Structure formats: C-alpha cells, structure tokens
Amino acid sequence: MIDLEVIHRLQQTLEERKGAAPESSYVASLYAKGTDSICKKVAEEAAEVIMAAKDGDRLHLVREVCDLWFHSLVLMSHFNVGVDDVMVEFRRREGISGIDEKKSRTQSGSSFGGG
C-alpha cells in the first residue's frame, strides 16, 4: 500500500506554484485563470473518468482518475483546503452509513463557506 507522501509532496508543489508566473507552469496558469477555469477542468476530468469507466479499460480509468485527483487538488489548493482536511472528513465518515451521512449534511446545512 502506498501512503499519502506523494500526495503531500504534490500538495506542496501546488502551493509553490501559486506564486509562479502563469507562463512558467501549467498549474500557475490555472491559478491565474481563476476559480471558473479550475472548476471547468475538474468537470472535464470527471467526464473523462466516466467515459473511461464506460469503455471498461482499467488502465485508461486509472489514468483519468489520476487526472481528476490532480485537478481536484489544484482546486483544493486554490481554496486553501489541504489533503489532511479531506482525510479528517474521511475519518469522520468512516463507519457511518452513506444514507445517514448524507442526511446529516442536509440537516446541518453544510456549505463550502462554513455554513
């Protein structure tokens, strides 16, 4: 099993790219384009994951999921959300029925802004 070291290193690199010139890196160019462009890229990658799954090609699916995770990490970094924040949420949800967890989010009015 691979631990989260590689994702933490990637997260650090993404943070470093925030201060880079847009022409110097793909990630810096995404940050410069702003939230809408980053969200669009995440949506594109999610669609590609779905298409790869429908094709039934395991390697293609793995590669597309990697792209989706990467762009999701860019989006998270854009909003100063770290890998550890997500892992805490995974730990919170562990052992909870998906139905019950979904109900708790609806009842608590959870939102991105902390609502």
Q: What are 24-51's pLDDT values in tens digits?
A: 999 999 999 999 999 999 999 999 999 9
**Residue appearing with tokens 């909870």:** 96
CATH superfamily membership of 5-106: MazG-like (1.10.287.1080)
Which 8-state DSSP code applies to residue 114? -
Burial class (CB in 10 A: 0-12, 13-18, 19+), 35: exposed
What kind and span of H or E run contains 43? helix 35-55
This prediction has a pTM of: 0.82
Burial class (CB in 10 A: 0-12, 13-18, 19+), 68: buried
Average per-residue pLDDT for the chain: 89
How far apart (Å, rounded) are the C-alpha atoms in residues 67 and 111? Answer: 25
